[in-house]
Amino acid sequence: MAQHEHVRVAVIGSGFGGLGAAVRLRREGITDFVVLERADSVGGTWRDNSYPGCACDVPSHLYSFSFAPNPEWPRTFSGQEHIRAYLEHVADTFGLRPHLRLGHEVTLMRWDREELRWAIETADGASFTADFVVSATGPLSDPKTPDIPGLADFPGKVFHSARWDHDADLTGKRVAVIGTGASAIQIVPAIQPKVAGLALFQRTPPWVMPRMDRKISGAERRLHRALPVTGAARRGLLWGIRELQVSAFTKHPGELGLVERIAKANMAKAIKDPALRAKLTPSYRIGCKRILLSSTYYPALAEPNVDVITSGLAEVRGSTLVASDGTETEVDAIIFGTGFHVTDMPIAERVVGAEGITLAESWKDGMQALRGASAAGFPNFMTVIGPNTGLGNSSMVLMIESQLNYMADYLRQLNVLGGRVALDARTSAVGAWDRRIQARMKRTVWNTGGCNSWYLDANGRNTTVWPGTTAEFRKVTRSVDLSEYEVVRIPKRAAAPAKAVAEEVVG
């Protein structure tokens, strides 16, 4: 028989956002919740991205939960396997396993206006109802592979960076890497030494700064273990430096010229060929796209088995890849490092709100959510890492924890209001919030730097990045302002005639 469960809260996803939400719920004394996860283990993007060289470019002591410091981080920028293990450890330490429903892909969430709760269906036939939903599916969960004519007939291996085919042996093969984003620039130096030839399809050159990665010594780790305050101080320093950088991105992009000089020196150190340097030099302001960190990318590109093709992949003819500029290259395997469905996240098509329309329809002119959390018409529903909560230079875990403060207060307010009740963000409040964000966006490097990036949606609106410091976001998400919400109660049912009620009581 199909399984059905009613819970106070359903959390969707078990990456940093979902696990963080689960810990926070327990801290608030809420244990009546489930975490619905489509995969068979926790970890989100750090489970799915297992490509060679995968690591975080935010230092580990900052890229971790404040409530779960990890004195054992092995490197300043730890690798994917360590981050994934950390998330597994969080699930164990905070007793989250009984709440996990693995292999439960959410196919539909529909708001029930009569009962004031969410009805949730999953691909395996299980169903849930929940008073409150925390959607923590993350913006980097659904890989985007461009629709390239002829790709289906390519005879070799084809896969996306976020779905690495570990059975594919690339040794001695001719490999094409499509894209030059954060994923691709980690893959290229990791596979270059073993492939026969590497054709890199670069549509837009990225800015790449040196990556100051090093092993964290045993002595440092012992110190952080014995005196946790030292780990906290390290984190505080990493955080403070990044907070000071924010105004250059958001208000004074001109100040980023110095950073461009460092990035150019990083390139010049490894790339001696002026023609190749010219190909790799960006023509937009640094920071407009995410600044990439690598000390091995340029040295790999300087190797004789690498060819940089300065245009996108346009067509596949058998095993020949045709670039937009007509260049033809024959390869044995194609790796797409072409990013994710960020501003068109598929989960939005599966959420049906109070007006009977999906979140995707509601966001057809661009994503909008009050304080990054609440969309109008979607009561008792919040998105972790929602619209305009992304960062260009610091740890997303800080933003997630701020959103969890907001979630905790949201649930507290529902308790205070009492009874069967929901909060629905007012259209006017969502609109005012969005206008404030977009007005600030006008001066930022993401909107003025002269590039096209995944920060911008199909209409050119920046609906992904937060145009302020993480401290400011912490402040604006500290509590729920009830004036920004409509309080919704169960519609009164037609009162039964007095005689019938009396008969019922007597009978």
Could you say which of 64, 266, 338, 362 contacts ligand NAP (CB under 6 A)?
338
Could you say which of 17, 44, 231, 339 contacts ligand NAP (CB under 6 A)?
339
CB nearer ligand NAP, residue 181 or residue 353: 181
Q: Estimate to the nearest angstrom the gap between the alpha carbon of 57 and the chain centroid.
A: 14
Choices 179-187, 352-360, 472-480, 483-491; region in contact with ligand NAP by CB under 6 A: 179-187
Strand positions, DSSP E, 333-469: 333-336, 351-352, 381-383, 421-425
Does residue number 282 form part of the binding site for ligand NAP (CB under 6 A)?
no
CB nearer ligand NAP, residue 55 or residue 208: 55
Count Cβ atoms below 10 Å from residue 425 Cβ, excluding itself.
Answer: 25
Q: Estimate to the nearest angstrom the gap between the alpha carbon of 413 and the chain centroid.
A: 28
CB nearer ligand NAP, residue 294 or residue 380: 294
Least distance from C-beta 398 to ligand NAP, angstroms? 15
Which residues, in sequence order, are bridge partners of residue 121?
Answer: 108, 127
Give dist(CA 292, CA 57) in Å, integer.
8
Give dist(CA 419, CA 46) in Å, integer.
39
Give dist(CA 334, CA 326) in Å, integer.
18
Give dist(CA 197, CA 270) in Å, integer.
19
CB nearer ligand NAP, residue 179 or residue 377: 179
| Structure tokens, 96 | 């989250």
Distances (CA, A) of 215 to 46, 57, 161, 233: 20, 14, 26, 19
Q: Is 311 helix (H, G, I), strand (E, B) or coil?
A: coil
Sign of CA dihedral 12, 17, 18, 23: negative
Does residue number 182 form part of the binding site for ligand NAP (CB under 6 A)?
yes
Which residues, in sequence order, are bridge partners of residue 135?
Answer: 12, 383
Does residue number 181 form part of the binding site for ligand NAP (CB under 6 A)?
yes
Residues 450-479 that bind ligand NAP (CB under 6 A): 454
Write the interaction track for ligand NAP spanning residues 295-324; mark x where CB under 6 A is met and - where it is not: -----------------xx-----------
Choices 108-116, 198-206, 217-225, 470-478; region in contact with ligand NAP by CB under 6 A: 198-206
Least distance from C-beta 461 to ligand NAP, angstroms? 17
In degrees, rounded to 5, the angle at the alpha carbon of residue 426 between the alpha carbons of residues 108 and 376 is 20
Least distance from C-beta 391 to ligand NAP, angstroms? 9
Least distance from C-beta 473 to ligand NAP, angstroms? 17
Given a contact cutoff of 8 angstroms between Cβ atoms, the answer to whether 357 and 110 are in contact is no
CB nearer ligand NAP, residue 379 or residue 390: 390
Choices 227-235, 335-343, 398-406, 415-423; region in contact with ligand NAP by CB under 6 A: 335-343
| Structure tokens, 455 | 């920060």
Least distance from C-beta 186 to ligand NAP, angstroms? 6
By the criterion CB under 6 A, which residues form the site for ligand NAP?
Answer: 55-57, 140, 146, 161, 178-184, 186, 201, 203-204, 290, 312-313, 337-340, 454
